[in-house]
Structure 1
Amino acid sequence: MKKKLIILFFIGGLLSISSCSEDLDLGNPNKLTNESFWKTSADLESGVGTIYNALVDNNNAGYWEIQSMQLKENRTENFIARNDVPGRYAVATYKNSPSTAETTAIYKTLYIGIFRANQVIHYAPQIQGIDETKREQLVAEASFLRGLNYFCLVTEYGSVPIFTDIVTNQEDYFKAKSTEAEVWNQVIADFELAATSSLPENYPAAYKGRATKNAAIAYLGKTYLYMKNWVKAEEQFTKLVNNEGTNGYGLLDDYAQLFDGKHENSKESVFEIQFSKVGGTIIWGGEPSQRTRATTMAQECAPGEVGGWFELLPSKTLLDAMLQEKTADGEFDPRATATLAWNYPGCVYYKADFATKFGANAIWIRKNQNWWNNDEGDWKSELNEYAMRYADVLLMLAEAKTMQGNVAEAAPLVKRIRDRAKLADISMVGWNQTQMMDEIMHQRNVEFAREGLHWYDLRRWGTLETVIKGSLREGYNNFSAKYNYYPIPSSELNNNPKMTPNAPW
């Protein structure tokens, strides 16, 4: 089912080739796109494919590839970074700088995605012989993806430049930063366009993973939530939650099925990043046609005992949070055993008894790890990553209601998350805003551990510095509000005469 979409990404990736032999009579290669491409519906479709491709580009720190995924977690209290990759370790211990290569690469790749989206939006009107509904849908899809890239930029870097059209001259290329408020407004504009377009609410199986109208609505709600506009956030999330009968969203009964590779693009998937063992065999480097559409995240996080690189290790702090509450039957919270492997009775990890192979005190990641397998030598994984799950929508709606004082209306939404985890039924009657937010904060931490949301939750709740310093995790004494955001890269500051650092960098 995911093969067709990934092939679209692969074909689209060919557009990123920007050079060719001077001996070939092809004219100026920089004019190849303008004069020889953007002629047909297939060209426009492939152009959209290039935007998706940037999200998973392992060579340039795609936002859902191994490097970016690790950086989302290794600066929280829940994970510890190995020190063999200096840039990642610097981020994890709050010693990174504007010249840190990894955060520079993320910045660059998010703008690559924006550049590709702008191309689709710019050239779409000139395509001949295309169904008008299809044209509108592809433009809306590109707008959603542009909005997603700007959402990531503003949440990681704060104030950044805005580009909404192709760059045709040097004057357009060098832009000053827009304010954070202006970037958020651009995000809203892009998501609103997609949310009110003729994009389908769902795709047939062969096209699962593409952006839908419902994904745009969900991200529009998330944008308003991050902006603390609780009323508008609730308005968007309610559109989804009140229409489960038609949009098909819901929670899987078994939490572990979300990460077993057999239930991908399920009713809980709002926007899911697709990986597949198609394409070439190369992970890093090479031409787009040579690269795999798989990920090596499983090897990055696996123990050395099975050939892994142990780049991201869960902390005792995370395990303690996972064990804070047991099920109504006195068992471990199923989210704990689906997310982590540790020394508990009967724990099997990579086909081995845990304590015997990994030690009595070890803690390892189980979520998205192919832990049921141990095929050393080929670590390419096709396990998808969730950009947004429906559980996230439910908890964000609960938060929007709670922050408006509607605690009683939030309770049933939180109960759905607790019930899926088989936790005891607790009475939330009479809870105040603080009590409900404490519960939502805990449930979000346990529900989405390893999925790259926790850092941004802590920051928007205003608890980031307290949590980091209170955890005594490695580098905690280096932390200050300076590290809430990544700095604008040195390369951007040096090359763009209109660029200035963001405070307090």
Structure 2
Amino acid sequence: MKTVYCILTIAFLGLTSCSESFLELDNPNKVTSNAYWNTEADLAAGLATAYNSLVDDYNGHWGVVALELKEGRTENFQIRNDVRGRFDVSTYQNTISTGETANFYKGCYTGIFRCNQVIHFADQVQGISDAKKAELVAEAKFIRGLQYFILAIDFGAVPVITSLAESREDYFNEKATEEQVWTQVISDLEDAKAALPVTRPDDQLGRATKGAAIGFLGRAHLYLEDWPQVITELGELVTNESQYGYGLMPNFADNFVLEHENNQESVFELQYSLQGGPDIWTGNPANKSRSTFIAQECAPGEVGGWFELFPTSVLLDAMLEEKTTEGDFDPRATATLAWNYPGCVFYQRDFSTSFESDAIWLRKNQNWWNENEGDWKSELNEKGMRYSDVLLMLAEAYTMEGQVGNAAPLVQRVRSRANLVDKQAEMAGWSSDQMMEEIMHQRNVEFAREGLRFYDLRRWGKLQEVIAASQVEGYSNFSSKYEYYPIPESELENNPSITQNGSW
């Protein structure tokens, strides 16, 4: 290995002094902002790290731990008690020092910092068109908007940081109000919507599009109960469905298999693959596979899984509430869960002879067809938003505006895909309360395991009621305090400008 040494000789001649800039040397062994943010490739690499923050195994909103806890806090799933922090969150015993929730907080701000870098340094990049630069900045704003959306729904009032720190004081940011956090979400997504492309070529699948920005704008306004704005945003996608290329997959289960990833129903999809290094259990990025270990986390012990997250009978009962026009199970039930029904095959085994008779296991987004029990790398993508969500969110907004007749065909599209009886004419005559009951049920069955249930129940004001009625483990611990995560203890200790939220 050859080592290069730099020798600087400074000669003073007479009264001549050297300039200050002459002494400002870059460290040749370190990549600095001056040396790095100079090309389009640099911006693209910066964006890649920002996307990675969304799927980080332990810190990202669509990473393994967050996926478990989003569902484990509801009546539909339970979490095994061998990982204390996760179990505490799922049974409403977590505290301000629980590491899992602190990691989510850290993960959001890691992603925000990476986006701020791209936005900040974009202007110094040379050899790139203004249009392309605007598109890449819009992509960074889309991701930043998502991170603030996550902070708003998980923590509430948090600091809003939109620039890079220039001094020590810049690290100690006061909290914005929750309203101000939502304002930032909407501002970023509006900017993204204005400059992102409608479609992406095949080699850019998974990157943000105009439709994704509109979809999350609609979701943000839904959470804020701004029904007219939800109708404006999501109505754009539904009215111009062919332009954006969206639609429902004919077969619900096809959304969760490799052959049909990034399909017409995908509004935003988090990408996984078997590319990268050979390991899934490493902190070394060079050895890290771009796959996920969620499959092993949720698989039963009989096939070598760790059953960290498992469905409850409450979810199965909801799935079996209505049968198809032929009298079969709702296809969303058999695509989401495996249980002891005639002909059930799970991990290439007959369920009735290989698993406990009363067991219920997760099938959705699991590689349950895998014959190699020792290979737990899963490359199944996570669904950030599906078009069925757009339809049901828009139906909800119409319903809350008293326009049940406009909601009925949207809900029926979701029902029809599940081969349920056509109730469109009947639903059009329902009250808003009746339609909301239907929408609540359809959202539960449609999106189980996709991380929306907890937030849906909270915004409907039904979280405490549903958890109490379910009597899942820890239900008696629940109070409104647990509707949000606390500001982490580590943040309170390190940032003298911040205070705790709510009843925490």
When normalised by structure 2's length, the TM-score is 0.94
Q: How does 1:29-428 map to 2 (within 5 A)?
A: 32-58=31-57, 60-197=58-195, 199-426=196-423, 427-428=426-427
The alpha carbon displacement at 1:23 in A equals 11
Write the distance in 1 (CA, Å) between the matches of 2:32 and 2:118.
11
Write the distance in 1 (CA, Å) between the matches of 2:122 and 2:281.
32
Which residue of 2 is the match for residue 4 of structure 1? Answer: none
Which residue of 1 is the match for residue 485 of structure 2? Answer: 486
Q: Deviations over 1:440-499 (max 9, x none)?
A: 000000000000000000000000000011111100000000000000000000000001
Which residue of 2 is the match for residue 445 of structure 1? Answer: 444
- Describe the SS at the equivalent of 2:384: strand
Structure 2 residue runs of 5 or longer lacking an equivalent are 7-24
- Describe the SS at the equivalent of 1:388: strand
Q: Deviations over 1:114-170 (max 9, x none)?
A: 000000000001101112111010000000000000000110000000000111211
The alpha carbon displacement at 1:24 in A equals 8.9
Which residue of 2 is the match for residue 3 of structure 1? Answer: none
- Describe the SS at the equivalent of 1:32: coil
- Describe the SS at the equivalent of 2:78: strand
Paired residues, number: 482
- Describe the SS at the equivalent of 1:370: coil
- 282-291 vs 88-97, which moves further: 282-291
- Describe the SS at the equivalent of 2:402: coil
Write the distance in 2 (CA, Å) between the matches of 1:500 and 1:325.
48
Q: Percent identity?
A: 59
Q: Deviations over 1:256-289 (max 9, x none)?
A: 1111221000000000000000111232433322
The answer as to whether partners of 2:26 and 2:32 remain within 8 angstroms in 1 is no
Write the distance in 1 (CA, Å) between the matches of 2:43 and 2:340.
52
Q: Deviations over 1:310-351 (max 9, x none)?
A: 001100000000000000110000000000000000000011
The alpha carbon displacement at 1:35 in A equals 2.1
Write the distance in 2 (CA, Å) between the matches of 1:34 and 1:282.
31
The alpha carbon displacement at 1:33 in A equals 3.2
Write the distance in 2 (CA, Å) between the matches of 1:178 and 1:335.
41
Write the distance in 2 (CA, Å) between the matches of 1:29 and 1:270.
43
Write the distance in 2 (CA, Å) between the matches of 1:289 and 1:190.
32
RMSD over equivalenced CA pairs, Å: 1.5
- Are residues 29 and 256 of structure 1, via their aligned partners in 2, closer, same or farther at CA, if it must alter by over 3 Å? farther
Write the distance in 2 (CA, Å) between the matches of 1:496 and 1:29.
33
Write the distance in 2 (CA, Å) between the matches of 1:63 and 1:215.
17
Which residue of 2 is the match for residue 431 of structure 1? Answer: 430
The one-letter code sitting in structure 1 at the alignment partner of 2:371 is N
- Are residues 137 and 356 of structure 1, via their aligned partners in 2, closer, same or farther at CA, if it must alter by over 3 Å? same
- Are residues 156 and 265 of structure 1, via their aligned partners in 2, closer, same or farther at CA, if it must alter by over 3 Å? same
The one-letter code sitting in structure 1 at the alignment partner of 2:158 is V
The one-letter code sitting in structure 2 at the alignment partner of 1:236 is E
- Are residues 110 and 180 of structure 1, via their aligned partners in 2, closer, same or farther at CA, if it must alter by over 3 Å? same
The one-letter code sitting in structure 1 at the alignment partner of 2:319 is M
- Are residues 75 and 30 of structure 1, via their aligned partners in 2, closer, same or farther at CA, if it must alter by over 3 Å? farther
- Are residues 98 and 23 of structure 1, via their aligned partners in 2, closer, same or farther at CA, if it must alter by over 3 Å? farther
Q: Higher Cα Rg: structure 1 or 2?
A: 2
Write the distance in 2 (CA, Å) between the matches of 1:286 and 1:359.
36
The alpha carbon displacement at 1:377 in A equals 2.0
- Describe the SS at the equivalent of 2:127: coil
Write the distance in 1 (CA, Å) between the matches of 2:341 and 2:308.
23
Write the distance in 1 (CA, Å) between the matches of 2:204 and 2:110.
23
Write the distance in 2 (CA, Å) between the matches of 1:224 and 1:74.
26
The answer as to whether partners of 1:306 and 1:374 remain within 8 angstroms in 2 is no
- Describe the SS at the equivalent of 2:152: helix
The one-letter code sitting in structure 2 at the alignment partner of 1:441 is M
- Describe the SS at the equivalent of 2:428: coil
Which residue of 2 is the match for residue 501 of structure 1? Answer: 500
Q: Deviations over 1:10-52 (max 9, x none)?
A: xxxxxxxxxxxx9998955997331221011110111111100
- 29-38 vs 456-465, which moves further: 29-38
- Describe the SS at the equivalent of 2:430: coil
